[in-house]
Chain A
Amino acid sequence: MTTLEPTPAPQQRSVPKLSFTDAEAGAKTFPGSESRFFEYYKPKGRKRTHYEDVTIDVQPDPRHYLSQGWLYSFADGQAGYPLEWTVLKAWGEDTNTPPKRYAASGGQATADKVGWPATGWHEFRDPNEEWEQTIYRYNANVVRQMTQNIDNARETKAFAQWNPSWVRFVERHASAWMHPEHGLGLYVFVDANRAAPTNMHNNAISVNGMHRIRFAQDIAMYNMTLANEIEGFDGTAHREAWYQDPVWQGVREVAEHLTAISDWAEEVFCTNIVFEPLVGELFRTQLVMHSAPGNGDYVTPTVFSAGEYDYAQRDLRYTRAMFSLLTEDKEFAEHNKSIMQGWLSTWVPRCLDAARQLQPLWSQPEAKPPRFEDSLDAVKERFAGICRDLNLQPSKELGQ
């Protein structure tokens, strides 16, 4: 016989009391009740943008409100985001030095005295207005669409239409492009996001880094799919090509040297202004995307065009805005242009050399792309246009 245990009394639940406080905007008029904007910065345009509201002044500056200065220094005494971490200069950085603060000096916030911004660096706004929602909406759309494209190709046996030489080309060479995307994403852009002097710069650079790492992974995942779908497709050939194949050693050498730059602006400039048009677009657009259709492949261009869009429509856009401010700077334009010309003198020959080492690839697909020299001329023209937009002279280096 069993005895029923008495049912324990339900425990008294404890919940917070709801109370109506009428604490919503407009419930009362009093001093300050209508000041509903971030009053500590001046917008670039007539109206404050959402992007500006969530970005500006999160990274503080001793030239502005940071009255107690940076609280930690590196062993060499540098602190915060030193302007010396690039050789480029923006107006005000020599004259609007951080106010001297000392006992009884007061905070000496500069906003009311000399006006905001404290230096030309603070004028930069990312034209893509990247913040949380734009980052995830954009990239989620890209990966969704790309996955659907590849799934559809698999369903419809589209890879069976590829001619054999194209299969070899994709497994070995198109796939090798994942490496520079990844390496530059991590060790140029993510790396540089620590270094630039404002939150606007560093956020834009960090988003650029994620575009590249995503695109690298997109290619890697695509490569994995192809290895599963195409009999005899060697999913590891890209690594051997990247490490050993002479056609890739120029690109690898330039990519590695780009990661070895310690000046954050030089890293970003040389990668996005020089390497990308002369090597990146040459390979992705002029070779891979132009060759694919003739070789029965309509899928690879959709993968590569996503990365191309990242660069051409977004990353180059902010890069132009960032560097044109510096080449048009009211105080340091000539200084900056001279330095950037120096960078061009170093990096254009390196990138052209890397581009020329890729030339044998133009003869590998069965259905040939446009001639290498025509492709190179196209990207040189594109590069020259970018330089002209920045008031820089590209001609001497391009003639080499």
Chain B
Amino acid sequence: MSRQSLREAHQKIQELSWEPTFATPAKKYGTDYKFSKAGKKDPLKQMLRSYFPMEEEKDNRVYGAQDGAIRGNMFRQVQERWMEWQKLFLSIIPFPEISAARAMPLLFSTVPNQELHNGQAIQMIDEVRHSTIQQNLKRLYMNNYIDPAGFNSSLRNFHNDYCGTIGRQFGEGFITGDALTAASIYLTIVAETAFTNTLFVAMPAEAAANGDVLLPTVFHSVQSDESRHISNGYATLLMALQDEDNRELLERDLRYAFWNNHAVVDAAIGTFIEYGTKDRRKDRESYAEMWRRWIYDDYYRSYLMPLEKYGLTVPHEEVEEAWNRIWNKGYVHEVAQFFATGWLVNYWRIDPMTDEDFEWFEYKYPGWYAKYGEWWENYNRLATPNGHHPIAVEAALGNIDYQYPHRCWTCMVPCLIRQDTVHDKVDGQWRTYCSETCHWTDKYAFRPNYNGRETPNMGQLSGHREWETLYHNWELSDIVVDMGIVRDDGKTLTPQPHLDLDADKMWTVDHLRGLPFPSPNVSLNEMSDEEREEHMALYKQGGPGGRHAAAAAG
């Protein structure tokens, strides 16, 4: 089709909609934003006559590549260290994808622009594509990779494991609450425009370096759709900016959404890229370098900051502090250490770091070894069962210097940068937060009024947000059975703190008997005021690398 006829064709499909006079579509979802009818044009200009064949062609390439990878025995050269983390990643990601599909109707109810609804409908079916193509990739991994355990249980364990909720808010955040906050600002303006770059571009590159050519095949195909979705978000944002009353809400939502995306996505993807790789070339980009390029330069400087010409203040402090956390406060390293500490309640295996890894980390993040090196050496030493306990229990017994962290009530990543921890009694409960912004999100942003204005459509944070609460003082052996992370022999754990598949090197339920597991939040709420303040003061003095305050001081 020529450009001229494309324009005519797109103009033609604008004739499809009409202004109803007998009844108007049900208004199922609400927003506190205000929109005038003067709207933006559909930025996608995508017609289904060309869309379906285009996607079919993209699919053919993906499935052709999958056939080729299987015939070429790709799994003889994939790194197990990498593949194990895919058990987590590919259990998380189909959910946000399908949630993005489900999010589109929220905008039908609230953004009065039928042209934009066309683009949102196409985004919906794109997202169905993404969710199922990613599930299919996981299925392929399960069928062809040496260790299917964890892939085969992924959608049970993702919904109940100790870091699943961290990933799940990057999905639930799209579909619930104020329609604009969820489906536009959190989903398209921040998640898709900023963080899909690290998810779907940076991560596949690392996969390829670890012998996996299929993650890039699938996710680059996905990303070529995401770039269209960004236009949907931008058009809605420009509409919102036309009403001055929306600015305060936009600023609230950009602040919340950027910080939450940072907390969640950087925790997960940062860990995959830095701790899931065997590629230790000194000239390959670290996650921090990628973040600086994709998020700081491409998104913050080129996309967010120009919005200020519309009178909006973008969340400078959050962006700078996110960078500060990644570069100076060891955010990704603290998270990876936490995941590895809790290896026994995950559903994948976590490979210990080696001398080569240490050297790379020290090169890329000077000072890394002093903070984390000893802990990883202990992790390696305690990897196979030999009369000792898992590292988390050894730490609880005082044999390893690591204080099991409090969870952040808002982002659910623990409060790992101990000095930034905030504690407060909110809704009658003592809660801990990883940062001032997460504290603000719970206490002030997700409330029915904000800065003195009514915000009756704003959502609420809900659920059992600290996983550890559910298993307070349970024995670890009972926890893993309850979670279903036991292999088909009925005793060997799905997770392991190493990659050795010899049965006598693998941990079993029996190794975990008699080991209780207390919830930090339950314990915090059981303390007297004095005990709690003393406990939190010491907690905030701890770190880096999870060290207790006394050791940090010493």
Contacts and interface: CB of A to CB of B under 8 A. Distances in A.
Chain A partners chain B: yes
Interface of A: 14, 16-28, 30-41, 50, 53-60, 64-75, 77, 79-80, 101-109, 111-112, 131-133, 135-137, 139-140, 142-144, 147, 178-179, 182-183, 185-187, 190-195, 199, 202-203, 206-207, 209-210, 213-214, 216-218, 220-221, 223-224, 235-236, 238-239, 242-243, 252-253, 256-257, 259-262
B314 to A, nearest CB: 24
B484 interface: yes
A88 to B, nearest CB: 17
Contacts of A179: 16, 18
Interface in B439-490: 448, 456-465, 467, 469-474, 478-479, 482-484, 487-489
12 contacts: A23-B78, A25-B143, A31-B491, A33-B146, A59-B102, A70-B176, A72-B176, A103-B522, A107-B483, A108-B482, A143-B49, A260-B25
Contacts of A105: 470
Specify which of A72, A77, A103, A187 lies most central, judged by the most chain B CB atoms within 10 Å of its CB.
A72
A71 B470 CA distance: 15
B152 A133 contact: no
Contacts of B209: 16
A144 B457 CA distance: 44
A20 B72 CA distance: 13
Interface stretch (B6-14, B297-305, B319-327): B6-14
B177 A32 contact: no
Given A190-B105, A213-B121, A32 B53 contact: no
Contact of B22 (A187, A192, A257): A257
A71 B168 contact: yes
Specify which of A17, A21, A56 lies most central, judged by the most chain B CB atoms within 10 Å of its CB.
A21
B380 interface: no
B172 A71 contact: yes
Contacts of A190: 104-105, 108, 120-121, 124
A293 to B, nearest CB: 25
Given A54-B136, A68-B463, A260 B482 contact: no
Contacts of A74: 176-177, 459-460
Nearest to B125: A210
Contacts of B448: 75
B28 interface: yes
A4 B152 CA distance: 63
A138 B49 CA distance: 12
B86 to A, nearest CB: 12
A25 B148 contact: yes
B513 to A, nearest CB: 17
Contact of A191 (B98, B108, B182, B412): B108
B460 A210 contact: no
Given A31-B488, A32-B488, A53-B139, A104 B108 contact: no
The 5 closest A-B pairs by CB, nearest first: A32-B487, A24-B75, A40-B156, A32-B149, A69-B463
A139 B506 CA distance: 49
B20 A256 contact: yes
Interface in B509-536: 519, 522
Given A68-B165, A71-B165, A21 B76 contact: yes
B106 to A, nearest CB: 7
Contacts of A41: 155
A179 B114 CA distance: 13
Given A20-B76, A67-B159, A68-B160, A133 B13 contact: no
Contact of B76 (A22, A135, A178, A207): A22
Contacts of A16: 208-210, 279, 281, 284
Secondary structure at the A interface, as helix, strand, loop or mixed, is loop
Contacts of B459: 72-75
Contact of A143 (B52, B169, B177, B457): B52
Interface string B11-51: 01101111011111110101000000000000000011100
Specify which of B83, B133, B135, B474 lies most central, judged by the most chain A CB atoms within 10 Å of its CB.
B135
Interface in B311-366: none
Contacts of B23: 253, 256-257, 259-260
Interface string B106-121: 1010000010011011
Given A58-B95, A256-B24, A140 B52 contact: yes
A14 B281 contact: yes
Contacts of A178: 15-16
B63 interface: yes
A109 B482 contact: yes
A19 B241 CA distance: 53
B121 A210 contact: yes
B12 A72 contact: no
A75 B456 contact: yes
Contacts of A261: 26
A35 B487 contact: yes
B47 to A, nearest CB: 6
A347 to B, nearest CB: 13
Given A23-B76, A59-B98, 14 more contacts: A24-B144, A40-B156, A65-B159, A67-B470, A68-B465, A103-B472, A106-B474, A194-B106, A206-B101, A209-B124, A217-B48, A224-B8, A252-B18, A259-B25
A202 B208 CA distance: 34
A82 B93 CA distance: 22
A259 B23 CA distance: 8
Nearest to B278: A19
Interface in B73-100: 73, 75-80, 83, 94-95, 98
Contacts of B125: 135, 206-207, 209-210
B385 interface: no
Nearest to A214: B48
B148 A68 contact: no
B132 A14 contact: no
